[in-house]
């Protein structure tokens, strides 16, 4: 499916709204809602890092949008600060769905090759294995990376070498966040675990760091489609 196909089927306050598209002889023009605030990557470049309470507010909105997307059987595949926009009221919007997949598209094609998409710095460890596939929980790993970066101002796994980055993601325990509350540390570390031990939507929504506030809509959580079981390749 194309980005237009996906976004034209979605309607949520935390997902960028598709407006229209038209085609000229040489171009396809796609119109989305305008987000005057820019994206979270730009905000991080300006502010360096965000206080934990603001990360919690932003995390609520990111999760609400992501849960809705998942409930429609879509894997975002490229969750990162540069793909999270916000308007003048600081309402966050998931944007840039060019890498997104439907659940059934994520698994190996006729050639037996799984589809891998997204930025390596935010990719779950299972995606570096030969049989790795995108899934809802690989998106939740990316969520953990984003929350870590919003609070600390740096990605949890950094290396100028792609091979070394892969080794860090697969073989190294996720770093702690100095100054974070124990509850936030627990949530972030829970998201940055092997796929078979990673927080899933039920445990994420019930986590104490959210202070009892509803995380996403119950009907979206109930509508989550089942996925085939995944194998973990992370060693720590």
Q: How far apart are CA 196 and CA 159, in angstroms?
A: 25
Catalytic, 78? Answer yes
Question: Catalytic one among 78, 139, 218, 220?
Answer: 78
Q: How far apart are CA 184 and CA 113, in angstroms?
A: 37
Query: What is the DSSP track for 104-135?
Result: HHHS--TTSPPP--S-GGG--GGGGSTT----
Strands (DSSP E) found in the chain: 18-23, 28-32, 38-39, 74-75, 84-86, 92-94, 101-102
SS3 category, 94:
strand
Could you give the angle at the alpha carbon of 98 between the alpha carbons of 96 and 104, nearest 5°? 125
SS3 category, 15:
strand
Catalytic machinery residues: 78
């Amino acid at each position: 499916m194309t980005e237009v196909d996906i976004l034209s089927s979605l309607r949520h306050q935390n997902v960028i709204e598709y407006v229209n598209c038209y085609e000229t002889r040489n171009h396809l023009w796609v119109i989305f809602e305008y987000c005057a605030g820019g994206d979270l990557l730009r905000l991080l470049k300006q502010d360096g890092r965000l206080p934990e309470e603001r990360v919690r507010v932003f995390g609520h909105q990111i999760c609400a949008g992501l849960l809705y997307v998942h409930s429609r059987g879509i894997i975002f595949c490229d969750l990162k600060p540069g793909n999270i926009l916000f308007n003048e009221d600081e309402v966050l919007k998931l944007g840039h769905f060019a890498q997104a997949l439907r659940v059934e598209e994520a698994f190996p094609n006729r050639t037996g090759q799984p589809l891998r998409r997204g930025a390596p710095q935010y990719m779950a460890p299972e995606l570096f294995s030969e049989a790795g596939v995108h899934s809802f929980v690989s998106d939740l790993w990316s969520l953990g990376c984003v929350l870590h970066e919003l609070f600390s101002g740096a990605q949890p796994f950094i290396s100028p070498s792609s091979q070394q980055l892969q080794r860090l993601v697969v073989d190294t325990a996720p770093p702690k966040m100095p100054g974070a509350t124990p509850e936030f540390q627990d949530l972030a570390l829970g998201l940055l675990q092997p796929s078979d031990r990673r927080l899933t939507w039920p445990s994420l929504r019930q986590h104490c760091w959210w202070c009892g506030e509803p995380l996403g809509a119950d009907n979206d959580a109930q509508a989550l489609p089942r996925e085939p079981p995944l194998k973990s390749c992370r060693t720590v």
